Amino acid sequence: MNATLVLPELDANSFWHDESGFVDMYDVPHFIKTLKYDVRIVMSVPKITAHGKSKKLRAYKIEPPRDAPVTWYRTTALEKLRKYGAIYLTPFSHRLAEEIDDPELQRLRCRVNYHALQFKPNIMKTSSDIVNKLRSEGHFMSIHLRFELDMLAYAGCIDIFTPKEQEILLKYREENFANKTLVYKKRRLIGKCPLTPEEVGLIIRAMGFDNTTRIYLASGKLFGGERFMKPFKAMFPRLENNSMIGSGKLEEDNRGLARSAVDYMVCLLSDIFMPTYDGPSNFANNLMGHRLYYGFRTTITPNRKALAPIFMDMEEGRASGYEERIRQVMFNTHFGAPHKRIHPESFYTNSWPECFCQMKAGNQADRCPPDNVNDVLESQFQNKEDVEAEATNQTDSTSSMETGV
C-alpha cells in the first residue's frame, strides 16, 4: 500500500481487562528500527494544517474481512486511504490471509513476529531471571495449560464439570460466543476439547518423563480449581509458575498482559514446550512457530483427535494398555522438526520454508543474506532518502519560482 504505519493499539480490555498499551509492553525504538527498511512507522496520526489551523487527521474506521487477500488491501483499503488520508483497521486478528503467493511478504511477517516485536527490557529481564533459576537445577519443560473459563466455554466441553460449573460455562458462552448446540462426545472425538491437567500428566508420563521432571506452568486461572490440578501434581510435584519463582516486581505487577508476556518468554526459552490447546490460541500457535524459527526447538504437540478415543475409553473404565496407546500417538509427531506445512496448519505455527534461507539455492531470493546485510540495507535506505530529499528540494524550488511569477 506504500503507507505509513501508526504504532498499533492493543485490544487488551475485551479479555485481559488491562489498559496496557503497545508502548507499555513492547520495545518501541527496537520495533521501529528493525522495520525501518520495510515500512515507515510513526507514534501517532499526524496533524494537518488547513486555513492556518492545525488539527489531528481523523482516521476512517474499516473492519477488514477475515483472512482478507492482499488484493483487498491494495484496492478497497487503499482507496479509502487515498480518500481520507488515514484509515483505522480494526479488529485485526486473522485479517490477512495466511497463504500468500509472495515469499517476501511472508518473510516480512517473520521479521515482525520474531525480530521486531520484542518485549520491554523489564519483561525480558524478569523472564531471563526465571529461566536462569529453573535452569540452575537442570533442564525444564514448559506447558501452556489452556483450561480456563473462556476456552472451555468456547469449546463447549462441559460434561466433566459439576452442574453449577456447567451453568457458569453456559452463561459465559451465551454472553460471548455464537449460539450453537455442541455435543460433548462429538466435540471430543474431533479434537476440539482442551486437555485436562490429568490428561496432560498421563501423556508426558507415558512418554517417559518421571516425577523428577521440572515443569513451568503457563496458564491463567484454571477453571474447576484444585480438583483438576491434584492428579497432575501427584504425578509431577516439581511444578512452578511465574508467581512462585518470579521477582518481586512481577508480584507487584497485576497486569495480565505483563504476566502473559513473561510466560511467553519462559516457554520460548524452555528446553521442551508443550501446548495443550492450539486451536484458536494465538499464544500457543505463535510460540510453536517462534521455537521452530529459532533452531527447531523441541515442541511436544498432542494430537487431541487421535488421543480422544483413548481418554474416552478411560472415562468409561476401559484403561487397559492406555500408556502404550498414548505412546503410539505421541511418537508420531514432528517434535518441532522442519516439515512441510499442510492445511489446516497455520503459517504462524510453521513458517517453513518461506522464512528459512538456503545456503545453496537455485533461486536468488531464497539464498541466505550476506554477513554485511545490515550495511547493504543501510546504504540502500540512505540512497532512497537522498533521492526523496532531492525530489522534495526540486518541488520546493519549482513552487518558489511559480510563486515569484
Q: Model confidence over 59-91: pLDDT tens digits? A: 999 999 999 999 999 999 999 999 999 999 998
- For 15-23, what is the mean pLDDT? 78
Between 182-186, 260-264, 342-346, 399-403, the lowest mean confidence (pLDDT) is in 399-403
Pick the CATH number of 121-147+194-349 from 3.40.50.11350, 3.40.50.300, 3.40.50.920, 3.90.930.12: 3.40.50.11350
User: pLDDT averaged over the chain?
Assistant: 87
Q: Tell me what pLDDT residue 54 has.
A: 80
Using omega within 30 degrees of 0 as the cis cutoff, is the peptide bond preceding 344 cis? yes
pLDDT in tens, 250-286: 545 546 788 899 999 999 999 999 999 876 678 899 9
Distance CA 69, CA 73 (A): 7
Q: 3-state class of 326 per DSSP?
A: helix
- How many CA within 13 A on the CB side of residue 388? 6
Please state, in angstroms and rounded to a whole number, the distance separating the CA atoms of residues 262 and 306: 32
Domains of the chain by residue range: 5-116, 121-147+194-349
Position with higher pLDDT, 226 vs 16: 226
Mean of pLDDT values over 363-387: 73
pLDDT at residue 339 in the model? 86
Split at pLDDT 50, 70, 90, the class of 399 is: very low
| pLDDT of 389 strictly over 60 | yes
Segment 105-122 shows an average pLDDT of: 94
Cell of 388: 526523496
